[in-house]
Amino acid sequence: MNREITCIVCPNGCTLNIDFEKNGDGKTSVTSVRGNLCPRGRDYAVQEMESPMRTIASSVLVTGGELPLASVRTNAPIPKERIFDVMKEVRKVTVAAPVSAGDVIIKDVLGLGVDIIATKDVF
Amino acid sequence: MAERKMQKDVVIVGGGPAGLAAAVRLYDKGVKDILILERESKLGGILRQCIHDGFGLTRFGETLSGPEYAKRFIDETLKRNIPYITDTTVINVTPEKLVIAAHADGLIEVQAKAVILTMGCRERTRGALAIPGTRPAGILTAGVAQSYINLHNRMPGREIVILGSGDIGMIMARRLTLEGAHVIGVFEVMPIPSGLPRNIEQCLHDYDIPLSLSHTVSDIKGTDRLESVTISEVDEHLQPIPGTEKEYPCDTLILSVGLIPENELTIGAGAVMDDHTKGPVVDEFCQTSVPGLFAAGNVLHVHDLVDFVSLEAEALADGAAAYVQEGSLPACNIPINCGANVGHTIPQKITGARDFQLSLRVRKPIENAVIRVMDGDREIARRKVRKALPAEMIQFTVKAKYLTDVSELIVSAE
């Protein structure tokens, strides 16, 4: 099978032409990458097809604060297929003011080695 | 009614990323008699509601959320004790640089030596597009929806149609989906998407949200609340093609159809405007046609990256500091005009005696583009861009040593 994606590693934005196969266990393996001007593009293509990672941002409720919400984000990428599982964990959380940007709201969410951190001060 | 009248060296209208970067740089250049006037209750501008990451990659080498990027500049402002007043809307700036602002306690009048305009931009609305149909609740611009979700903890709706493939619309497609809404589709009137490829990938493809190019909303139905939109295919003149109508039941229509620099104050002050940018004509000091009146950030021209906004505001602050300290700035009599395939440039006038930062956008996507800055037949500067897109502003420095004896610069892209 074949897919074209735009590489986002650098402003060149190379169009990557990727040949891949879907194995019996549902996993994808890349067989060839064309169109990349550098090796990072190839690495990006393989990662995107075999184990895509994403950062997500949302918000948590705050009690006793000047604002009802504190925005949060993952401090490192998580597997794309776990996005909604992580969102479920984020939705469970209410924190009490004050919250400072950088505060760890959920440590090592779902054992993925990634923290959910606050990105806004709420006093 | 209480009134406050005061004098300041510099008044900054708008405490978002441009205003804050300008304030910090001004202070560090020795101009400390500053007052920032901000209409919201907190500093930070639009970044407060842009909770996704991707900000600060070039500036800080990190991928921060909007609030975190703003916090860097807010902290620097607070560290220097630069005065600011929130919940204050500037209602007039005169050509003599008298700034009049409205606050709940009454009017504030500040006579300034220099005024820095950093008001940002607003969104194009349904009224401006003249979309026919009824006017039920549930039709919002993308930024308003973003504010509801990220600042006020309100879901705008559950069954969403998005018109416009601008970055904000795509970001909201993802945001709404993460919070449990169903985004039916994104419809774009042009044959090419207007936002970045990265966002098409990570906001639409990731969530299986379809993007339909060359389509638009041709009717709206609903009495109290939106009940459905009608989507039509459009022809090469962007007009709906009869017979292609498809009705989509939904409760929310999000519009992401363009940003417009917010320049009522600029026009009121008598500054000459540029029809391409919808912002004021400025020189290499970011000074408008009104001496001592400066502009930077989205109010000058809509940016894609806040990192560039900060750079632009700092360059402005260098110019404004020199203006305050010396009383005037060198004349900028050499015009910069747009040639083939270039939509606009900032600045539009230069001294020709100094290095300056040129910003431009191309009118259409060009692969292996060569950007040329010409003075008649003489090539002054050239830049190669692998993939030039209207959605990505191009910026580079033009060196003074190539500018001797230039009379008019034309910037083109092939």
Does residue A33 sit in helix, strand or coil? strand
Query: How, if at all, do strands B106-117 and B293-295 pair?
Result: parallel
Same domain, B7 and B75: yes
Question: Is A22 exposed, middle or buried (CB count within 10 Å of its CB: 0-12, 13-18, 19+)?
Answer: exposed
Same domain, B220 and B134: yes
Looking at the DSSP bridge assignments, the partners of residue A2 are A19
The model's pLDDT over B306-359, given as tens digits with 9 standing for 90+, comes to 999 999 999 999 999 999 999 999 999 999 999 999 999 999 999 999 999 999
Average model confidence (pLDDT) for chain A?
93
Per CB-CB distance under 8 Å, the chain A contacts of B387 are 11-13
Distance from CA of A59 to the nearest CA of B (A): 7
Terminal alpha carbon distance of chain A: 53
Calpha distance B117→B287 (Å, rounded): 10
Identify the band that residue B64 occupies on the pLDDT scale cut at 50, 70 and 90. very high
Same domain, B275 and B306: yes
Calpha distance B267→B265 (Å, rounded): 5
Same domain, B157 and B251: yes
Contact A120 B387 (CB under 8 A): no
Task: Kindly state the average pLDDT of the residues B111-134.
Answer: 90
Which has the closest alpha carbon to B224: B251, B247, B248, B254? B251
pLDDT at B128 > cutoff 60: yes
Terminal alpha carbon distance of chain B: 60
Residues 6+ apart with CB under 8 A from B325: B30, B31
* Positions of E strands within B307-365: 334-338, 342-346, 349-350, 356-362
Per CB-CB distance under 8 Å, the chain A contacts of B202 are 54
CATH of the domain at B272: 3.50.50.60
Q: Look at chain B and report how many structural domains it folds into.
A: 3
B3-12, B265-274, B314-323: least confidently modelled range = B3-12
The fraction of chain B above a pLDDT of 90, given in percent, is 90
pLDDT at B1 > cutoff 60: no
Contact A73 B51 (CB under 8 A): yes
Contact A71 B67 (CB under 8 A): yes
Looking at the DSSP bridge assignments, the partners of residue B7 are B111
Task: Kindly state the average pLDDT of the residues B42-67.
Answer: 94
- Residue B105 has phi, psi (to 5 degrees) of -85, -10
Same domain, B117 and B131: no
Residue B210 confidence (pLDDT): 97
Question: Is B238 exposed, middle or buried (CB count within 10 Å of its CB: 0-12, 13-18, 19+)?
Answer: exposed
Residue A67 confidence (pLDDT): 94
Interface size, chain A vs chain B, as Cβ–Cβ contacts under 8 Å: 67
Same domain, B376 and B271: no
Q: Which of B270, B297, B329 is the last residue of a domain?
A: B329
Contact A58 B51 (CB under 8 A): yes
| Structure tokens that stand for B41 in this block | 């209750």
Identify the band that residue B2 occupies on the pLDDT scale cut at 50, 70 and 90. low
Query: How, if at all, do strands A104-106 and A116-118 pair?
Result: antiparallel
Per CB-CB distance under 8 Å, the chain B contacts of A121 are 71
Q: What is the ipTM of this complex?
A: 0.91
Same domain, B179 and B131: yes
Same domain, B345 and B295: no
Cis peptide leading into B347, omega within 30 of 0?
yes
Calpha distance B204→B155 (Å, rounded): 19
Residue A13 confidence (pLDDT): 76
Same domain, B277 and B240: no
Residue with tokens 């092939």, as numbered in its chain = B414
CATH of the domain at B339: 2.60.40
A6-10, A42-46, B60-64, B400-404: least confidently modelled range = A6-10
Is A61 near chain B, with CB under 8 Å? yes
| Buried-state track B172-207, b at ≥16 Cβ within 10 A, e below 16 | bbbbbbbbebebbbbbbbeeebbbbbebbbbbbebe
Contact A71 B65 (CB under 8 A): yes
Distance from CA of A87 to the nearest CA of B (A): 7
Average model confidence (pLDDT) for chain B?
95
Q: 0.90 exceeded by the pTM?
A: yes
Q: Which of B282, B305, B329 is the last residue of a domain?
A: B329
Spell out which chain B residues touch chain A, with contact meaning CB-CB distance below 8 angstroms.
Answer: 48, 51-53, 63-65, 67-68, 71, 149-153, 178-179, 197-198, 201-202, 206, 386-387, 392
Identify the band that residue A95 occupies on the pLDDT scale cut at 50, 70 and 90. very high
Identify the band that residue B197 occupies on the pLDDT scale cut at 50, 70 and 90. confident
Contact B150 A71 (CB under 8 A): yes
Per CB-CB distance under 8 Å, the chain A contacts of B67 are 71, 101, 119-120
Task: Kindly state the average pLDDT of the residues B195-207.
Answer: 90
Residue B387 confidence (pLDDT): 85
Does residue B46 sit in helix, strand or coil? helix
Query: Alpha carbon of A77 to those of A42, B198, B323: distances in Å?
Result: 19, 15, 46
Same domain, B135 and B246: yes
Q: Which of B241, B257, B273 is the last residue of a domain?
A: B257
Residue of A nearest to B62 (CA): A75
Same domain, B295 and B393: no
Residue B126 confidence (pLDDT): 79
pLDDT at B273 > cutoff 60: yes
Domain that holds residue B351: 331-414
Residue with tokens 């994403």, as numbered in its chain = A54
Is A54 near chain B, with CB under 8 Å? yes
Same domain, B160 and B250: yes
Residue of B nearest to A87 (CA): B178
Calpha distance B56→B244 (Å, rounded): 43
Identify the band that residue A25 occupies on the pLDDT scale cut at 50, 70 and 90. confident
